[in-house]
Amino acid sequence: MPAPIGISVVTISFDLPYPDDSARVFAPLAHQPWAHWLDSAWPASRAGRYDIITALPRATLVTRGMETRVEYAGGGLEQSRDDPLELLRARLGPPRPRVSAPFVGGALGYFAYDLARRPHRLPSVARDTEGLPEMAVGLYDGALVIDHHERTCRLWASDDAAGRGWMERFLAGMRGEPEADDFALTGEIESSLDRDAYQRAFAQVRKYIHAGDCYQVNLALRFAAPCRGRPWPLYRALRARNPAPFSAWLNFPFGQVLSSSPERFLSVRDGLVETRPIKGTRPRSDDPGEDARRMAELSGSAKDRAENLMIVDLLRNDLGQVCAPGSVTVPSLFALESYATVHHLVSTVQGRLAHGQSALDQLAAAFPGGSITGAPKLRAMQIIEELEAERRGVYCGAIGYLGADGSMDTNIAIRTLTCAGNRLRFWAGGGLVADSRADAEYQECLDKARALREVLAGFEQRSSKKPQSGPCPPPRL
């Protein structure tokens, strides 16, 4: 069995000046390997509250295919072909006592959609063009937590020396160090499926639905473009244009992940599990009257409500595998939420962990999220593998943390870009059901990608000036 990392118990905290913009605090760390920021995009996202910033992990776990590498900050390397989530469980160890912050130490990073190939034994048809690991998480002894409701900024650390070293970095950030990035797209954005190819894939999904193979399948388009430089300015522009409560910037030696996701996948706090699936979308309009009409149309749409309810039922089952019998409830159905470019229907499903079950057990039971696969989940994933030309990678996986105290909060990695190997990639998709129409579903994908494309338009290369900070790092372990 693998040995626990021995994450230090957080015993000390420091109060720092509250920053109105957390980006100023994080900027000095943005390019440090394994520096991560879970960003609530306050105040524009409205639903957010906490920002979590961390760096300098005690150890890292990186999974590629059947092998996971565990590297230790003090030197040392382990390699294993065991279940990556079980490797993570062993190294997190038993839960520590809670403190008054959402995250002060534990695991933080991403779980890519393709990590599901391990438990689900999916066929291997789609190409892996992204080249990123299926799991990349760091194990951290502390974090900076910014509470935008209470207007506080507190650094949590394992000891006084570590805390004061971190404090110097963050105070430098609050003084507003200048950025030196020069990010740009160096070519056109291309899609993995043009309209004709999408319609052919759509027709095949319809055949499977009418044959009784499935009820709903999430079909997605991949967009990609060549790029140069590091995308920190792109993330700053993205969070300004498309603020969302489950946003993130993750910086790895092999590339960057930029997310502006509006969707919570799973949270666990004091044994209470919550998931908030999104299903049902309409584009925003600049005309207030038209925008209100679209909101009313979405709220009253029997088709969109039926799609949402299918996923709610799937997630009730996923939670029921780990939660106590009778504890799974649906406190909210079809709530309307509005973002920069789209309106969504959002439901809430809750449950309470059964005795002996953990947040990691719930993650394993529900991964990947039903809202971005379909129903039944396994058959929908098999169809996705058949019809999407490229593997999803980070897209539709989960970004977030598993706290040393047994808590968890993760997003569904939609509205998410990756930058590696001089290529920028992002996706957009939607759920197909029996009465879906190909043109409308294709347009919905474009509507969901609209905010990302509008931000990227500001980074189209307009000169031959060389980058100041080099190309996006190539994929590597």
List residues with catalytic annotation.
263, 279
Distance in angstroms (rounded) separating the CA atoms of residues 34 and 250: 7
* Concatenated DSSP letters of 408-447: EEEEE--SEEEEETTEEEEEEEEEE-TT--HHHHHHHHHH
Q: Among 112, 45, 114, which residue's Cα sits nearest to residue 451?
A: 45
* Concatenated DSSP letters of 233-244: HHHHHHHHHS--
Q: Among 91, 96, 106, which residue's Cα sits nearest to residue 140?
A: 106
CB neighbour burial string for 73-103, b if at least 16 within 10 angstroms, e if fewer = eeeeeeebeeebbebbbebbeeebeebebbb
Contact 283, 295 (CB under 8 A): no
The one-character DSSP state at 7 is P
* Concatenated DSSP letters of 366-378: HPSPGGGTEESHH
Residue type for position 120: H
Please confirm whether the linkage preceding 368 is cis (ω < 30° from 0). yes
Bridge partners of 139, per DSSP, are: 59, 107
**E-assigned strands of 201-277?**
216-228, 246-252, 255-261, 264-269, 272-275
Contact 54, 252 (CB under 8 A): no
